[in-house]
A and B are shown apart, each in its own frame.
Chain A
Amino acid sequence: MTVTLDQIYAVTGVFLLIFTVLTLLDKKQSGKWGTAMFWGIYGITFIWGKEIPPAVVGAMVVVMALIAGAKWMGMGDYLSAATDFRRKMADKLGLWLFGPALAVPLVTFLVAWLFPKMGALVGLGIGSVVALALAFLLTRIMPVQAFQEGRRMLDAVGWAIILSQFLAALGFLFDKAGVGKVVAEMVATVVPVDIRLATVIAYCVGMALFTMVMGNAFAAFAVITTGIGIPLVIKMHGADPAIAGVIAMLSGYCGTLLTPMAANFNVVPAALLEMQDKNGVIKAQVMTAVPLLVVNIFLMYYLAFPGK
């Protein structure tokens, strides 16, 4: 039996539509219509994304962005468990609680290794369904409540869940418009592009610096990879795209450690810990981030050019 990615998407879409119905039935939900519309539209793009004309999907995506931008989404009432119930159950179920949680990565890895044609993504889908079944067996929870818990977590993430897909779409437009070429030409005026190490440094340091400016390695990745990574490191010097790409992303994470723009990771924790210096967390991270960036440059230089 083969499970396809489209089937996994359909299941995801059904989950989202269940969340939509639960949102509409929730009497205490704030921003009820905005939240329901957002998850409803999103669910439709998962189930019928390929059947609907792309321009219509594009318009739906614009509507989602507008709902998010207008702050029409909110939190609901998920009939959550009280603290003492969680404490009691933690003592009763103990380490078994980690079983279903670990089933997800276990099945993901197994499917990716044993059925490479299906791959890690289908594995993640199968793993999630297996884990959900195990969680039902372990906890004897009502299925509806399971989806309430899922909705609680999704509402907590909110619109940010589609940010990656958005950034990928932006990267696609950048690519169509030839933004990468322009950036590459600008970089070429400062960097001696014939030297492989120089292009690797430009890619890794570019990722770190751009991440510091944007506060987000994902956003930086689309720009810097189309501008420096692909034209200079991959095309010109023949780097393996997968290896160079992942190390570039990790270089971006070094930048995340160094910037107040990544407020959630650096500034909010300082406030949370009642530190006097709002940049105290960043200062603690400098002496780790900088050497690690250097390590990443060397890793890309030595690992991403197999046999060259």
Chain B
Amino acid sequence: MIKLIGVVIVILGLLFRFNPLLVVLVAGFATGMVAGMSPVDILSAIGQAFVTNRYMSLLILVLPVIGVLERFGLREKAEDIIRSMRTLTAGRVMFVYQIFRQVTVGLGLQLGGHPSFIRPIIAPMTEAAAAREGARGTAWLERIRGMSASAENYGNFFGQLLFPAAGGLLLVKGVLENAGYKVDLLIMAQYAIPSAIAASAIALVRFLLLDRAIRSADKTKGGEQA
């Protein structure tokens, strides 16, 4: 049981919002100590694992390219593309955005995010589309904003492992190889595809149901007026 001290430290440390690096460090030392390792052994183990797993951070190489493209308007151009679907219903805007996000993140591109896309572009578009159909008021706004934000998370989470050099896959590889299993990144990326499709399908149903609810909101309103 005492061996689980590291797990407990990680849970408590993250719960109390300490810097995750420090939490992991303390958890590592505590775990090593209860396993009877000397401080130098523990440092060696950390150093060795850190060096073996350098590949997890290779995205550093991509940063200058993306930075340059952003300087020359990459984000602005992506916004143009998203904005061109102005005439769609709220649920369809969410779905198109989710697919856009899923495909681009699956190609290793970080184009998206709540601050840069959902707040300034997607949420206003979906709110306007719903209002056109008569779905107005705070309750509708809450629901539509929540769904808009969720589209970003679905696209991001269930697209990112499609890229064979994604951080998540590299961590899977690292943990499994530490335990002595050789795994191939391309194969892992392939087996992320079924979940990605399932995520899109489930999200699509949810978004279409939202559209339907919005349309019926229109009808009840129309009825009241008549």
- A177:B148 contact, CB within 8 angstroms: no
- B43:A58 contact, CB within 8 angstroms: yes
- B24:A166 contact, CB within 8 angstroms: yes
- B108:A104 contact, CB within 8 angstroms: yes
Measured between beta carbons, the chain B residues less than 8 angstroms from A187 are: none
- B186:A125 contact, CB within 8 angstroms: no
Measured between beta carbons, the chain B residues less than 8 angstroms from A250 are: 157-158, 161, 192, 195
Closest A residue to B185 using CB positions: A120
* Cβ distance B148 to chain A, nearest Cβ, rounded Å: 7
Given A64-B21, A179-B4, A217-B168, A273 contacting B71 (CB threshold 8 A): no
In whole angstroms, how far apart are the Cα atoms of A254 and B96 in the complex?
Answer: 21
* Cβ distance B58 to chain A, nearest Cβ, rounded Å: 6
- A54:B44 contact, CB within 8 angstroms: yes
- B50:A169 contact, CB within 8 angstroms: yes
* Cβ distance B48 to chain A, nearest Cβ, rounded Å: 4
- B175:A168 contact, CB within 8 angstroms: yes
Size bracket, chain A contacts = 35 or more
- B164:A120 contact, CB within 8 angstroms: yes
Interface size on B, residues (CB 8 A): 117
Closest A residue to B197 using CB positions: A295
Measured between beta carbons, the chain B residues less than 8 angstroms from A15 are: 60-61, 63-64
Contact of A236 with B by CB under 8 A: no
Contact of A307 with B by CB under 8 A: no
* Cβ distance B103 to chain A, nearest Cβ, rounded Å: 10
Closest B residue to A152 using CB positions: B67
Interface SS of A by simple majority: helix
Interface string of A204-217 (1 = CB under 8 A from B): 00000000011111
Measured between beta carbons, the chain B residues less than 8 angstroms from A91 are: 73
Interface string of B59-73 (1 = CB under 8 A from A): 111111111111111
- B64:A162 contact, CB within 8 angstroms: no
Measured between beta carbons, the chain B residues less than 8 angstroms from A253 are: 157-158
Contact of B91 with A by CB under 8 A: no
Contact of A195 with B by CB under 8 A: no
In whole angstroms, how far apart are the Cα atoms of A120 and B185 in the complex?
Answer: 7
* Cβ distance A182 to chain B, nearest Cβ, rounded Å: 5
* Cβ distance B47 to chain A, nearest Cβ, rounded Å: 3
- B63:A246 contact, CB within 8 angstroms: no
In whole angstroms, how far apart are the Cα atoms of A272 and B116 in the complex?
Answer: 11
- Considering only residues 83-137 of chain B, those with a C-beta below 8 Å from chain A are 107-109, 114-115, 118-119, 123
Given A169-B45, A285-B150, A295 contacting B198 (CB threshold 8 A): yes
- A159:B21 contact, CB within 8 angstroms: yes
In whole angstroms, how far apart are the Cα atoms of A291 and B55 in the complex?
Answer: 33
Closest B residue to A270 using CB positions: B149
Contact of A62 with B by CB under 8 A: yes
- Considering only residues 147-170 of chain A, those with a C-beta below 8 Å from chain B are 147-154, 159-170
Measured between beta carbons, the chain A residues less than 8 angstroms from B65 are: 100-101, 104, 128, 131-132, 135
Count chain A CB atoms within 10 A of each CB in B63, B138, B184, B202 and give the residue with the most: B63
In whole angstroms, how far apart are the Cα atoms of A105 and B189 in the complex?
Answer: 13
Measured between beta carbons, the chain B residues less than 8 angstroms from A9 are: 54-55
In whole angstroms, how far apart are the Cα atoms of A211 and B42 in the complex?
Answer: 26
Contact of B214 with A by CB under 8 A: no
- B21:A173 contact, CB within 8 angstroms: no
Contact of B226 with A by CB under 8 A: no
Closest A residue to B186 using CB positions: A112
- Considering only residues 83-113 of chain A, those with a C-beta below 8 Å from chain B are 86-91, 93-95, 97-98, 100-102, 104-105, 108-109, 112-113
- A95:B158 contact, CB within 8 angstroms: no
In whole angstroms, how far apart are the Cα atoms of A100 and B107 in the complex?
Answer: 12
Interface string of B1-21 (1 = CB under 8 A from A): 101101100110011001111
- B191:A296 contact, CB within 8 angstroms: no
Given A65-B22, A177-B31, A124 contacting B191 (CB threshold 8 A): no
In whole angstroms, how far apart are the Cα atoms of A259 and B151 in the complex?
Answer: 16
21 contacts between A and B (CB under 8 A): A54-B48, A59-B43, A90-B76, A104-B107, A128-B61, A135-B65, A160-B20, A165-B54, A170-B27, A172-B178, A177-B6, A179-B4, A183-B7, A249-B169, A256-B157, A265-B153, A272-B118, A273-B145, A280-B145, A296-B195, A299-B195
Smallest CB-CB A-B distances: 4 pairs: A149-B67, A90-B73, A58-B43, A57-B47
